[in-house]
Structure 1
Amino acid sequence: MSLYEERVTSRAFQILLLVPVGIMLAGLYGTYQSEKGFDVMLALTIGVSLVILDAMAIRIEIDERELRIRGLLGLVLRKTVPIENIASFRVGEGWTSCYGVMHFNLPAKGCVAVHQRKGWTVSFTTNHPEKVAEVLSTLGIPREP
């Protein structure tokens, strides 16, 4: 059972990410017309499109065992942090006020940085930072000032 779930998206960011996909599709059409390198361009277009699609949204899930952060598809962008591995967390005002070695960042109201006992600091943006803080505090994880 999940204690917290959220999906963070940004319409402006999604539109911005569609520009490279459009360029790739134009390039794909160009290679199809020239009959040279179409198979390579098709593979690149599919690969880049999957990465871009994965980056269009962030899914945050917290349950009793772990914190999961995933991209839209969860193919490339994903991180799972066991609750017992979290040493502390910090809540920041605004989506640019947190940093970590692994940073999942989309425009949002706030951010949370999770400091692990073993491993890198993981941070992510959220529209409900105080709800995330409440859930993490309920799980016994100390909050940094």
Structure 2
Amino acid sequence: MGVMVGVLVWVFQNGNLSGLLGFTATGTLESSIPILMFCIVYGLSMAVAVLVDAVLIRGVLLPAFVRLAGSANWWAPRSLRRVHERFGISEAAPPVERRLATTPWTSGVTLLWADPLTAATAAGRAAGAASSES
């Protein structure tokens, strides 16, 4: 920031390089120029910080660290493991029950259910419909 102000004063206030750049030096600077320079420098520094964070840290360093750490990435503290066990939370997906189910609303068409909840719901509806017919 200090270098930018120094260059502005040297070029525009003192008139150095005025012949090369094609202007006449007035000996003063507009008072809003340093404020605008600060805003531009601050904005550019934020853009660079976000770019470094997004590309370097999240795109390069984090995946490399995850690869090096291996299974230690997924370690849980003992108290959190107890919560997982108590409520049945697991990293692995629950086994999917695959079976053929016939439902009364499909007109005898046999469907393959891949979702156990949907299959159980359909089986419950079929059982309820069969018991209401009796």
Band the TM-score falls in, shorter-chain normalisation? under 0.3
Instruction: Identify, as 1 or 2, the structure richer in strand.
Output: 1
**TM-score between the two structures when normalised by the length of structure 2:** 0.27
Larger RCO of the pair (alpha carbons < 8 Å, separation 6+): 1
